[in-house]
Amino acid sequence: MKMLLDGQWVDRDEKIDVIDPFDNSVIDTVPSGNADDCETALKSAVKGFEITKKMTVYDRAQILFKAAAIISERLEEFATIIAREGSKTINEARTEASRCVNTMTASAEESKRILGETIPFDSFPGGEKRRGYYYRFPIGVVLAITPFNDPLNLVAHKIGPAFAAGNAVILKPATVTPLSAIKLVEAMVEAGMPPQAIQVITGYGSKIGDPMVSDERVRMISFTGGVEAGKHIASKAGIKKIGMELGSNSPVIVWKDADLDLAVDSCVSGSFWAAGQNCIGVQRLLVHKDIYNEFKTRFVERTKKYKIGDKMKEDTDMGPMITEGEAIRVEKWVNEAAQKGANVLCGGKRTGSLYEPTVLENLPPDVTIHCEEVFGPTVNLYQIDDLDEAIKEANSLPYGLLAGIFTSNIDVAFKASYDLDCGGVMINDSTDYRLDSMPFGGVKYSGLGREGLKFSLQELTEPKVVCFYLPNI
């Protein structure tokens, strides 16, 4: 596949292989972009913004609606690409492709609801005979940097709202999963998006990241990825808007009155969806002592039934990690925990890039897999005595994206909802739930700002005040 720069699909002699992590076969190649390509993208995006900011809301919405329809018509094609280039099974990939259709459709709908308000200038002395309002206007060129784990829908979460607001976009997709992103952009251009309004540059972040991140023509950076990369971007960005979703170490409390069947099924899925490579995947299960042993038994039994292997088979529950190197990293983290006294209740074995769904308990507080985001198919069990203890433990790490609690007690649910330090609390659900239109983001190291269509549009626009002095009224 090729890059889209200044309205042209272009290739380069230097290419990057896109590898299927299950069998290491080469699916396709993409160009390895360079500094000159960055400059081309920036210049074209500036020209593209001159077009998009003058487009009517109706025209932008119709393009987004049409793009959603194109993706819907080719859903299986998109799902196959997602599954081949990444870690998701074909069934997980179909779910993501369907969500992408919803994200693009909702972006179109929300484009019509970018509203302002009248302002009562006469509410303070000196404001007499003044009338006015504010409206929201697009900010300009948006640099979107996307991750590998949701290679289609997270791209849609950046391109859809950015264009809905009237901005131009430069897209830098994950190096290991660029194909879904390119296919989405093809659909956008086919739907009528001005080619200069969307640039796709593929390549290594070490070569093309800093020149675009630091450029003053970029007015906002929307980044989803790791904490260290986020810190680097923030240090290079200069004065511009930054939106970041940087992952988590998601806690779920299972209270003593929880529906255990519901809690087990939800949390097993929430732990191992997409081989655990999920920013809202369950990583810490804080289970009340009265039900701990029963929950543990059921959870481990359910986990052992997971079928791992070929992503393209309909009955596969979990595929490989994105690279063998990532699987080796998780293996090292699990081994470190085991060597320091943690119990490996099931899993803990690796074959190439496949790592078995793994459940741990009795973790020392200083092991890496307790403290950091694992981004792999492992989950930790902890026994807790009371709610305050559980909430304190849930809040103890420097992350705060989503948290969850299973309980039948409304008082317990409300207390947890207000005391958990995070961007969202899921009641009787695992943390692995996201409605694409809800405000999505976190606190502490989990990020800056919020995505979620309506909320993205607030981030991707600026308010402008208009005030009339009318001396004759």
Label residue 76 by pLDDT band (50, 70, 90): very high
Residue 356: the pLDDT is 98
Q: What are phi and psi of 385, to 5 degrees?
A: -100, -35
- Judge whether 373 counts as a catalytic residue: no
Residue 355: the pLDDT is 98
Label residue 105 by pLDDT band (50, 70, 90): very high
Label residue 303 by pLDDT band (50, 70, 90): very high
Residue 148 bridge partners (DSSP): none
In a domain, 222, yes or no: yes
Same domain, 314 and 191: no
In a domain, 282, yes or no: yes
Label residue 448 by pLDDT band (50, 70, 90): very high
Same domain, 176 and 269: no
Distance CA 174, CA 126 (A): 54
Instruction: Give the chain's radius of gyration (CA, Å).
Output: 23
Kindly report the CATH number assigned to the domain that includes residue 410.
Answer: 3.40.309.10
CA 460 from chain centre, in angstroms, equals 17
Q: What digits encode the pLDDT tens for the residues 34-64?
A: 999 999 999 999 999 999 999 999 999 999 9
Label residue 71 by pLDDT band (50, 70, 90): very high
Active-site option among 85, 96, 110, 245: 245
Same domain, 186 and 310: no
Residue 178: the pLDDT is 98
Query: What predicted TM-score, i.e. pTM, was given to this entire model?
Result: 0.96
Q: What are phi and psi of 326, to 5 degrees?
A: -70, -40
Q: What digits encode the pLDDT tens for the residues 370-397?
A: 999 999 999 999 999 999 999 999 999 9
Instruction: Write the DSSP string, 365-428.
Output: TTSHHHHS---SSEEEEEEESSHHHHHHHHTSSSEESEEEEE-S-HHHHHHHHHHS-SSEEEET
Same domain, 340 and 431: yes
Residue type, 124: F
- Judge whether 100 counts as a catalytic residue: no
Active-site option among 279, 331, 356, 361: 279
In a domain, 352, yes or no: yes
Distance CA 276, CA 212 (A): 31
Residue-range definition of the domain harbouring residue 112: 3-246+446-466
Strand ranges, E, within 187-261:
198-200, 218-224, 241-245, 250-254
Residue 171: the pLDDT is 98
Residue 348: the pLDDT is 97
In total, how many domains does the chain have? 2
